[in-house]
């Protein structure tokens, strides 16, 4: 059967796996190939490669191999890998974003890498003394060959040739401290681009050439992740709070392409800003969200209601889930391999 396997990336406590939708978690042991005190900034997988998983860490890019239950370091010029994106048409094509901010691409599954030219990137890193980082790389789901990338303390980038060249886009932005991006289909075959930042939402309706701020009805304008629902791209989920890591926050939902937002209550007291939302098209009703300081919540009804999970992580940086082919009764064997 296809069992949801959930992955959590932490700041300083490596990667954790769950085969029961987050009710219990295990961490692959120190012999699995990844340092137990690693920081995991991003996690990505591809449906055409169910045996592997990619993790961007503070020690470069690692690949998890399901049959051997081991991590393998993929040698590259990269150190801190904050964002990973796999080409939806080809699992061998990988894009990665680093800290200090830079774009890299591999056409052979991570065996070799090329640093991509990005105007303004070096200047941003120099001005900000190095803390710039690529927080998300997204393949445009509406316009083929277009890609988007957010740079924290750096700005927004667009590629129209599937990542070969990039354009720096900041006109009209209230902040260049970018966190997340979503592409929203509009009437007449058009689309708008919505980005999150430390100062709030910013929207473009002309392919990123110009931007305008959109204030949300919240005590805070700090926003982190903006994620479309897998079966309805005009339904969006937005994480919002009082800063990084913050002391509290909200999970918001829009059903009209981000024009208006309403809060979805999360049970209990939040310990920090909600940071990420994890979905998968194989089961649009199953969703996860988490706070920066480690709380995790699960929804089984497309985000209408949420359950707070018992396990808390010290610092949570990434959540990801995918269906994993596991035969009936093999759950315990899978967990035994992990630990």
Read off the pLDDT of residues 209-225 as tens digits, 9 standing for 90 and up: 999 999 999 999 999 99
* 292: number of Cβ within 10 Å: 25
Number of H helices, E strands in the chain: 2, 27
| Cis? peptide before 245, omega within 30° of 0 | yes
pLDDT of 2 higher than 90: no
The pLDDT value given to residue 41: 98
Residue 336 has pLDDT above 70, yes or no: no
Q: Is the pLDDT of residue 123 over 80?
A: no
Average pLDDT over residues 302-307: 98
Identify the pLDDT of residue 38.
Answer: 97
Contact 314, 297 (CB under 8 A): no
Residue 99, domain member (yes or no): yes
Q: Taking the alpha carbons of 248, 251, 252, 257 in that order, is the dihedral positive or negative?
A: positive
pLDDT of residue 121: 84
Residue 59 lies in a domain: yes
| CATH number of the domain within which 68 lies | 2.130.10.10
User: What are the tens digits of pLDDT across the range 190-213?
Assistant: 999 999 999 999 999 999 999 999
Does residue 126 carry a pLDDT above 60? no
Look at 122-131, 141-150, 155-164, 228-237 and tell me which has the smallest mean pLDDT.
Answer: 122-131
Overall number of domains in the chain: 1
Asked whether residue 289 is domain-assigned, the answer is no
- The arithmetic mean of pLDDT across residues 77-104, rounded, is 97
**Residue 69, φ and ψ in degrees, nearest 5:** 55, 50
On the question of a cis peptide bond just before residue 100, with omega within 30 degrees of 0, the verdict is: yes
The 3-state DSSP class for residue 335 equals helix
**Average pLDDT of span 103-123:** 93
Give me the domain span that covers residue 125: 46-185+196-214
Average pLDDT across the chain, whole number? 94
Pairing of strands 15-18, 94-99: unpaired
**DSSP calls for 59-126:** TEEEEEETTTTEEEEE--S-SEEEEEEE-TT-TT-EEEEEES--EEEESSTTSS-EEEP-TTHHHHHH
pLDDT level of residue 131 (50, 70, 90 thresholds): confident
Indicate whether 63 belongs to any domain: yes
Give the model confidence (pLDDT) of 33-70 as tens digits. Answer: 999 999 999 999 999 999 999 999 999 999 999 999 99
Task: Categorize the per-residue pLDDT at 331 as very low, low, confident or very high, splitting at 50, 70 and 90.
Answer: low
Mean pLDDT for the stretch of residues 247-253: 98
Task: Answer whether residue 120 shows pLDDT above 90.
Answer: no
At 321, the pLDDT band (50, 70, 90 cuts) reads very high
Q: Note whether 179 and 222 are within 8 A (CB).
A: no
Strands of 262-264's sheet, edge to edge? 222-229, 232-241, 249-254, 262-264
The answer on pLDDT for 263 being more than 60 is: yes
Q: How far is CA 338 from CA 19, 119, 332, in A?
A: 11, 43, 10
pLDDT, residue 337, reads 62
Asked if the structure places residue 278 within a domain, the reply is no
Answer whether residue 181 is part of any domain.
Answer: yes
Widest distance between CA atoms in the chain: 56
Residue 255 lies in a domain: no
Mean pLDDT for the stretch of residues 239-260: 98
| Mean pLDDT of all residues in 171-175 | 94
How far is Cα 109 from Cα 191, in angstroms, rounded to an integer? 31
pLDDT surpassing 80 at residue 281: yes
Q: In what order do the strands lie in the sheet with 307-308?
A: 274-278, 287-291, 296-299, 307-308
- Give residue 326's pLDDT: 60
Residue 232 counted as domain residue: no
Mean pLDDT in residue range 278-297? 98
């Amino acid at each position: 059967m296809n069992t949801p396997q959930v992955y959590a990336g932490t700041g300083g406590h490596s990667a954790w796996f769950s085969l029961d939708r987050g009710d219990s978690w295990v961490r692959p042991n120190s012999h699995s190939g990844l340092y137990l005190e690693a920081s995991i900034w991003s996690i990505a997988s591809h449906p055409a490669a169910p045996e592997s998983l990619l993790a961007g860490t503070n020690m470069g890019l690692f690949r998890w191999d399901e049959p051997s239950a081991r991590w393998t370091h993929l040698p590259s010029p990269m150190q801190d890998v904050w964002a990973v994106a796999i080409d939806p048409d080809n699992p061998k094509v990988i894009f990665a974003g680093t800290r200090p901010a830079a774009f890299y691409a591999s056409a052979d599954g991570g065996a070799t890498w090329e640093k991509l030219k990005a105007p303004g990137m070096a200047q941003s890193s120099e001005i900000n003394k190095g803390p710039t980082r690529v927080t998300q790389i997204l393949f445009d789901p509406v316009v083929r060959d277009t890609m988007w990338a957010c740079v924290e303390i750096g700005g927004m980038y667009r590629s129209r040739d599937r990542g070969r060249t990039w354009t720096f886009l900041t006109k009209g932005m209230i902040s260049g401290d970018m966190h997340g991006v979503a592409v929203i289909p509009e009437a007449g075959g058009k689309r708008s681009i919505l980005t999150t930042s430390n100062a709030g939402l910013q929207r473009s309706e002309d392919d990123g050439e110009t931007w305008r701020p959109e204030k949300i009805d919240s005590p805070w304008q700090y926003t982190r992740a903006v994620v479309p629902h897998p079966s309805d791209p005009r339904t969006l989920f937005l994480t919002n709070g009082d800063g990084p890591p913050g002391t509290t926050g909200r999970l918001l939902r829009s059903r009209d392409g981000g024009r208006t937002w309403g809060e979805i209550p999360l049970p209990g007291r939040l310990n920090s800003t909600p940071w990420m939302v994890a979905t998968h098209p194989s089961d649009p009703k199953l969703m996860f969200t988490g706070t920066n300081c480690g709380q995790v919540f699960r929804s089984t009804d497309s985000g209408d209601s949420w359950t707070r999970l018992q396990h808390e992580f010290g610092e949570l940086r990434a959540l990801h889930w995918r269906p994993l082919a596991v035969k009936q009764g093999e759950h315990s064997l899978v967990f035994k391999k992990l630990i």
